[in-house]
A and B are shown apart, each in its own frame.
Chain A
């Protein structure tokens, strides 16, 4: 009987050990963003970047002898669903997250991660308020609206020099935040926008707004928001004979806007993070992504890639996956990544991040604007 108990015990221990070993073999990285819904293509960009990074790092032997594993969660860019996803990630025992994507989703989710000690790096949320709560676990590898807005504003002041400028936004955290930042910047330089108005996301008819732009002789419009609405505004402006140039943030800069607006998207100005996929140093990586049949040109692909790089570099240096140690390390060191040398400030934001203004073309491609 005694012998039997001992056998049972040792078998039990072996199983436990095996279980622990199996868990220690992989580090799970949660990937949270919209996989469905109207802005799912931005979620795809993030996914392409993160999965490519995980693949490359695993090929090079993993981190501290462990392999990485990406686990995908869909928040549909919906704040309510984002909270549910964050809770699920915590319940699933995942300690490291890349995401979320939409600022309005990232903000409520980040509170949960902070409370539960989960390390989160967003590669796409640009709203300044996310890092203004004094959270310790929250970082980002992308610029802020408070950087992008003034940058766009400066471009308007120095290169566009509009006579009658209008600023339109979609009343969302991201769009209105950017629009307000641009307004502040141009007003400081003495350009007074003749209109500053919101539209409702999901609206299809902008004819009343366009007639108003026409009446005010607007020759330049800055739009803060996403591509489905701007695409329709461009298309209807062309039909109604409004001769104005449009400019928007990275939220409008994807080929779908050309699908919606067609020829009307020619000449649209877009501020985007610089095209890291054109960087000669990243060509091997670009090829690896293209070989998988995926698109490396999206603005969030490389920031997402570098988010994983920063996370794993910290894990290697601290020889740990403890999120508190990682957060401290990330805050006090610089990282060489595919998006350049990254350093983080006390709030968890990048110390600096550069944007570029692109000229958008009707076929969905872009070239740097003069």
Chain B
């Protein structure tokens, strides 16, 4: 294979990995939007909190002398999912539920407030400097001609791809097959009617937030392992990119969020590959505007049907 093709493959691998990380966070946005039609701007901060819990747990376990990597990762996963879900549930209970049924703008402002609150809460309790972990999962495959260009694909990247795919699959099955999933779909169609039919809609919404937060925590864990650093401000940028991915794919649609994330990631990587890398956000967001001009409901979103 020629150098050009190997280079393209490498950049596609990079782009799909970045895209998967956007997708993982985007699924949480899109779920909440799909059910109650609200953009949960505090979602990025939940991801950040998930990262911090991962750091604290892993550092603690390593400090206690634990050496088994799978066990460490499992404990870190369980604890960060539990704590992040508690945050997700609490946020919904405190900041959104009392505002349900009001003008749609009001919960949005409340969400932005929550996001700023959480960010500053972590700055004050954990400090604003970067925290870092030593590389936990290293190694990978390399292929290609070393004299031309060597493509590298790490285990960690594969791990992120698989995690994203499995999460998407699991969630799609949950929504389409389970009883709770059916209630979720009913809520997203007509929440008032669902309530009249005897479904506890408050419980359905709370569950949505818990699942969304758990996904953000999984993303937090994976990305902490991948990049090895976190600071209290990572939630903002990650949230913005994930939100873009969700809109791009069609907000409310889970496969759409994944597709949107992957397209955004690959666009960024290819722009950085063939143009000066400072243009990568310019190109990625121009693409978003273009797609929305021609498909306002996103790639896989259902067009809004006027209800009679």
* Residues in A lying within 8 Å of B, measured CB to CB: 36-38, 40-41, 171, 197-200, 202-205, 207-209, 211-212, 214-215, 228, 231-232, 235, 239-241, 256, 259-260, 262
Contact = CB atoms under 8 A, between A and B. Distances in A.
Contacts of A232: 227, 229
Interface string B6-43: 01001100110110010000000000000000000000
A235 B227 CA distance: 8
Interface stretch (B66-74, B123-131, B299-307): B123-131
Interface string B283-308: 00000000000000000000000000
A208 B130 contact: no
B142 A260 contact: no
A281 B31 CA distance: 65
B276 interface: yes
Interface in B184-224: 223
B3 A262 contact: no
B259 to A, nearest CB: 19
B8 to A, nearest CB: 10
B92 to A, nearest CB: 28
A200 B281 contact: yes
Contacts of B168: none
A191 B270 CA distance: 28
Contact of A204 (B142, B227, B270, B281): B227
A134 to B, nearest CB: 32
Contact of B276 (A197, A203, A214, A259): A197
Contacts of B18: 205, 207-208
A208 B277 contact: yes
Given A232-B229, A239-B154, A259 B11 contact: no
Contacts of B268: 208
Nearest to B227: A204
Contact of B277 (A38, A198, A231, A241): A198
A197 B152 contact: no
Main secondary structure of the interface of A (DSSP, over half): helix
B228 interface: yes
30 contacts: A38-B129, A38-B231, A38-B233, A171-B278, A197-B276, A198-B278, A199-B278, A200-B280, A203-B237, A204-B223, A204-B237, A205-B18, A205-B21, A205-B227, A207-B14, A208-B11, A208-B270, A211-B7, A211-B10, A212-B272, A212-B273, A214-B10, A215-B3, A228-B231, A231-B130, A239-B138, A240-B152, A241-B152, A259-B132, A260-B130
B122 to A, nearest CB: 12
Contacts of B277: 197-199, 208-209, 212
Main secondary structure of the interface of B (DSSP, over half): helix
Contacts of A171: 278
Contact of B134 (A38, A207, A215, A262): A262
Please provide the 3 A-B residue pairs with the shortest distance between their CB atoms, ordered closest to farther. A198-B278, A208-B272, A207-B14
B269 A198 contact: no
Given A208-B273, A211-B273, 19 more contacts: A38-B128, A38-B130, A171-B278, A202-B233, A202-B234, A205-B18, A207-B269, A208-B14, A208-B15, A208-B269, A208-B270, A208-B277, A209-B272, A215-B149, A232-B227, A241-B150, A256-B129, A256-B130, A262-B132
A240 B15 CA distance: 14
A261 to B, nearest CB: 8
B113 interface: no
B60 interface: no
Nearest to A199: B277
Contacts of B7: 211, 215
A50 to B, nearest CB: 21
Nearest to B10: A211
B128 A37 contact: yes
Contacts of A202: 233-234, 237
Nearest to B134: A262
A259 B277 CA distance: 26
A160 to B, nearest CB: 23
Given A202-B237, A240-B152, A211 B14 contact: yes
A211 B4 CA distance: 12
A204 B130 contact: no
Contacts of B149: 214-215
Interface centre among B3, B17, B231, B272 (most CB of A within 10 A): B272
Nearest to B238: A204
Interface centre among A37, A198, A203, A205 (most CB of B within 10 A): A205
Contacts of A197: 276-278
A208 B15 CA distance: 8
Nearest to A227: B130
Contacts of B15: 208
A207 B154 CA distance: 12
Nearest to A235: B228
A205 B132 CA distance: 15
Nearest to A258: B132
B223 A40 contact: no
Nearest to B237: A202
Nearest to A209: B277
B195 to A, nearest CB: 42
A215 B8 CA distance: 10
B229 A260 contact: yes
Given A37-B128, A197-B278, A260-B132, A204 B273 contact: no
A179 B223 CA distance: 30
A36 B152 CA distance: 38
Interface in B147-174: 149-150, 152, 154
A228 B231 CA distance: 10
A209 B154 CA distance: 17
